[in-house]
Structure 1
């Protein structure tokens, strides 16, 4: 019997956890008897776990034995949108709580766009829980970002977004997209995912969370949160950096820069893909991700090594005071 034939069929279910009184929705995908390895998929701003559907479908087709979990971050998708901490640190803490609640100590964590910033923060904040790191068209690696995201941080954005995200305009845009598809015009999956995120802003609760989240990481000049000054601290982790070469939201140069900063990291470029390479090229992306997971075993956490690396970033001035 082939290796694929020996693998158990996968199941994908929609689940909800109540963490600290908030509902956190997530997709749970894996074999009937999942093993010890968990891969966590973290979506981008205004997105949801739905963005991982093409990847989850590929995993099911291949009967991949690892367990994958894709949550809706607070304020996104079907999760609660409370008055809460929508910073990278707040999201990272929520992920930690969900992961340990599922019974896992160390996980591979994958982040797309804003989710890339979240998982970098997770790796820095909770290194004892991070076994591998995968960044997809990630935020936090440079100043440049699309004008649309910068505009969301400007004064008065709360009143402008309801106009441009009015449900009637969203429905009209969706209708145009369907007509283009009916006429045989190809609509890239990246464009569809961006439209899905845009449509979510018609809901005032999601819109409020979007503005809070955007302002925590972006200002009028671009991204104001960066990991590049400490990204080399991830040198004990297997790191994969994936990017669509045609990304118009976050330039591919950020991926090249991150690859140079992280020793022994891997860079995977998806030619012609946009901001969502896992949607534009799901088969190729799944091939590359699973190859990385198969070749690079989970790292063990070495607190002494991390302390030594942090100390290399620090110097103290002697002021002569007694």
Structure 2
């Protein structure tokens, strides 16, 4: 992969994505470095840009693959199946396309649920597993996400995601930043994800993905008691102690699936510990993948 000299569009993106056509639709992904492969899976409303700040730490002795899931980022947003199984199958197709046999999976939030589904469907392709603030370990989830599953959400979302609303929120944000306030990594990542819902295709994919794993009462997909191969998978679980999206108490439940899992809590971090404490996250991840 050829690296650009400067970030594009003011972002951290120094690794221009490739595109693979999988099952008739374009999937955008970053592929850089050589060595054992690490496949990063972002969460709901995320993209590969959630991970690119880690590439320099890892691609000297690992092959780093970071896709935009279908319905997200620069990838296609087709009408169709946005279940965990469908996402996992596309990721299997991607590593087949790249000629990769086994991967270490790193999944955040929804991406953690997809990673566990990948382990269930394709255990022979998994070298190790890293779950970051993952879904799929309990019912509890933020009321904000539960609201997206309510009847009529498809009518409300275009209004609150409109350019009129976004412009006014950003105006207020600039004003308070001028007074010295700085948004947390959680707030910045959530806002960037929300602004991606400006078009109808993205909103449709968001609602389909959300409703595939959440209902008005909480998460509907639970790996507990279902992923029977977990005891054979070397696993690391990372969680922020101030996660308001999925409670940190879910972290210890990972031991019910992955008895030998190592759990690392990031004190004071929220739902995006890899963005809030990037140096520590990189160090913990490096130590794990080099074991």
Q: Within 5 A, what are the aligned runs for 1:106-125? A: 106-125=102-121
Residues 49-106 of structure 1 show CA distances to partners (whole Å, capped at 9, x for unaligned) of 11113323x527xx63211111011111110011121000000000000011100111
Cα distance, 1:234 vs structure 2? 1.1
After TM superposition, the structure 1 stretch with the greater mean CA deviation from structure 2, 47-56 or 79-88, is 47-56
CA contact (8 A) 2:138 2:219 kept: yes
CA contact (8 A) 2:45 2:206 kept: yes
Which residue in 1 is equivalent to 2:125? Answer: 129
Which residue in 1 is equivalent to 2:50? Answer: 51
Residues 134-184 of structure 1 show CA distances to partners (whole Å, capped at 9, x for unaligned) of 100001110000001111111111001111111221232233334433433
Q: Within 5 A, what are the aligned runs for 1:291-310? A: 291-295=287-291
| The one of 136, 148, 166 aligned to 1:140 | 136
Cα distance, 1:260 vs structure 2? 4.8
Which residue in 2 is equivalent to 1:190? Answer: 186
Q: Within 5 A, what are the aligned runs for 1:249-288? A: 249-288=245-284
Q: Within 5 A, what are the aligned runs for 1:32-43? A: 34-35=34-35, 37-43=36-42
- Please, which runs of 5 or more residues in structure 1 have no aligned partner? 1-10, 296-322
- Runs of 4+ with >2 A deviation: 53-56, 171-184, 230-233
Which residue in 2 is equivalent to 1:15? Answer: 18
CA contact (8 A) 2:186 2:271 kept: yes
Q: Within 5 A, what are the aligned runs for 1:74-93? A: 74-93=70-89
Give the alignment's Cα RMSD to 1 decimal: 1.5
Residue 155 of structure 2 aligns to a residue whose secondary structure is helix
Cα distance, 1:12 vs structure 2? 3.0
Q: How high is the TM-score relative to the length of structure 2?
A: 0.91
CA contact (8 A) 2:230 2:257 kept: no
**Highest Rg: 1 or 2?**
1
Looking at structure 1, the residues matched to 183 and 135 of structure 2 have their Cα atoms a distance apart, in angstroms, of 25
**Number of equivalent positions:** 278
Residue 292 of structure 1 aligns to a residue whose secondary structure is helix
